[in-house]
Amino acid sequence: MRIHYLTLITIFSIAFPACNAQSQNDEDRAVNEQKVIIYLGADNSYVNEMEDCGAKFKDKGIEKDPFQIFADYKCNLTRVRLWHTPAWYDTLNQGKRYSDFEDVKRTLHRSKEAGMMNLLNYHLSDTWSDPQKQRVPAAWLPIVDNLPILKDSLYNHIYGTLEALGKEQLIPEMVQIGNETNKGILLSPLDDSLNTLDWERNAQLFNIGIKAVRDFEKASGKKILIALHMAAPEEARELLQGYLEHGITDFDVIGISYYWAWHKPTTIPEAVAIIRNMRERNPDKQVIIFETGYPWTLEYNDQASNIINEPHPEYNPPTPEMQLKWLEDLTHASLANGATGVLYWEPAWVSTSCSTPWGKGSHQEHATFFDFENNVLKKGGMNWFGKDYSSSIRSYVHKPLITIDKENKYVDIKTESSENPEAYSFIIFGKNGAEAARGSLKDLEINESKISRYSLEKLDTGSYHLVIAGPDHWIGSLGFTKN
């Protein structure tokens, strides 16, 4: 895969794989830079099933492998969901299971062969996980209230699947622990019916899942980015604070779902303002829009009801051009505010004669990147991948509120003029979320610019994560290593 490099006046530089990007002069490179990829990708978990149901994908009338079509249009990442045991497929259509481990391997292989990277999405359920539903797999239901055994099962599930993928040279570049985990993960039917989030339980589950990935990294020598995924920008901002304050800190990417149809009235400018806020308050985390979608028509091509039916007033009526404009505008705005990618959900879930549990056909054919004959839309979303977003990337100037000196001797914490340092406490988490230190900003040295300085001399060598929080507002977090 060809990789082009861009650099921001920030703490990191950008790699733009297989996209139209230009390099910048070396003198523009910032100190302490690390290479970060801009991800423009697609969740294509349905492709194998659609082909088995008879779908033929075409570009300009010529039948082609769908993964190659996406790669040809400069898509650089495939997201694929993994269900634990989707036995409900046994009585659906031909009785073949999808999004189980064997199907996921097929997707990862096809994506890799086409030259794309992969994101493995652990749904941690036998079926859909989302903000309203986080049901534990049936195999784990007998142990759902036995936290030590449940943690062991989760660890073995994640480590075991990664180990098996490693044997077939299919290790993904990124994994996410859970899907749209606004209410937590691995819930019993009773707990799933409640709108509560048990932070103590979830902290242990998320951290053991993260540990499984880190342990596999160490054993395999392969770097894997770890993501947490939340739906709705407004909710994600609050949930992120909860994760960090409860010691869920050792992850690399904040994933967000943002659809106008479901997250209105949050506009694109409002959504990206939240992204900027997250980046400034958590300078060691990337932010990626993991899911978005926009219809190119409100017509149907089958008997199944469609799930994205409300267009944005400024992108109405839905047309292929409006679908493309939504994606271009969202991507430009997101990258200009510090995001490192945008992913589209199921752009190849076209109509077939097969059924879902809710209807015959697709619930997304009107929001794919293909027309009703399964040809790539001439002026639709498929063209979004290859656009030049370099000007938006370069316009982002990173201004973190928490910084660490080059020699890792102290951390500086900047509060806003309206914030009172005496109202804030800090927590330092060590390995696996264990608390290493705690205190108040008022006990630290504070200069005239309201910058508090925390000395790292009392900490042992190792990796840590600093979280700064207040009673009703927070400053942010930063991961660091004490040498």
Q: Domains (ranges, CATH) in the chain?
A: 38-382 (3.20.20.80), 402-482 (2.60.40.1220)
Burial class (CB in 10 A: 0-12, 13-18, 19+), 470: middle
Could you give the percent of the chain with pLDDT greater than 70? 90
The mean pLDDT of 421-426, rounded to a whole number, is 76
* pLDDT tens column, 82-114: 999 999 999 999 999 999 999 999 999 999 999
> What's the confidence (pLDDT) of residue 27?
32
**pLDDT range class, residue 2, cuts 50, 70, 90:** very low
- Residue 186 carries which side chain, given as an amino acid letter? L
Closest residue by Cα to residue 10 from 244, 250, 255, 335: 335
* 177 within 8 A of 226, measured Cβ to Cβ: yes
The mean pLDDT of 58-79, rounded to a whole number, is 98
- Please, what is the average pLDDT of the chain? 89
**pLDDT range class, residue 473, cuts 50, 70, 90:** low
147-167 helix and 199-220 helix, angle to the nearest 10 degrees:
30
> What's the confidence (pLDDT) of residue 336?
94
Q: Return all residues near 167 (Cβ < 8 A) that are at least 6 apart.
A: none
Q: Find the range with the poorest average confidence among 20-34, 137-151, 282-296, 400-414.
A: 20-34
The mean pLDDT of 450-458, rounded to a whole number, is 85
Token pair of 14, please?
């950008």
> What's the confidence (pLDDT) of residue 35?
63
Read off the pTM.
Answer: 0.90
Preceding amide of 131 cis, omega within 30? no
**pLDDT range class, residue 11, cuts 50, 70, 90:** very low
- Residue 269 carries which side chain, given as an amino acid letter? P
More confident residue, 14 or 183: 183
> What's the confidence (pLDDT) of residue 16?
54
Question: What is the distance between the alpha carbons of residues 355 and 202, in angstroms, rounded to a whole number?
Answer: 35
More confident residue, 417 or 129: 129
The mean pLDDT of 201-219, rounded to a whole number, is 98
> What's the confidence (pLDDT) of residue 198?
94
> What's the confidence (pLDDT) of residue 471?
64
* pLDDT tens column, 244-280: 999 999 999 999 999 999 999 999 999 999 999 999 8
* 304 within 8 A of 366, measured Cβ to Cβ: no
The CA radius of gyration of the chain, in Å to the nearest whole number, is 22
DSSP 3-state of 101? helix
Question: What is the distance between the alpha carbons of residues 33 and 209, in angstroms, rounded to a whole number?
Answer: 28
Active-site residue numbers?
180, 291
**pLDDT of 192 above 90:** yes
> What's the confidence (pLDDT) of residue 18?
42
**pLDDT of 29 above 80:** no
Given the structure tokens 């880190």, which residue do they identify? 214
> What's the confidence (pLDDT) of residue 416?
62
Preceding amide of 66 cis, omega within 30? no
The torsion angles phi and psi of 311, rounded to 5 degrees, stand at: -80, 155
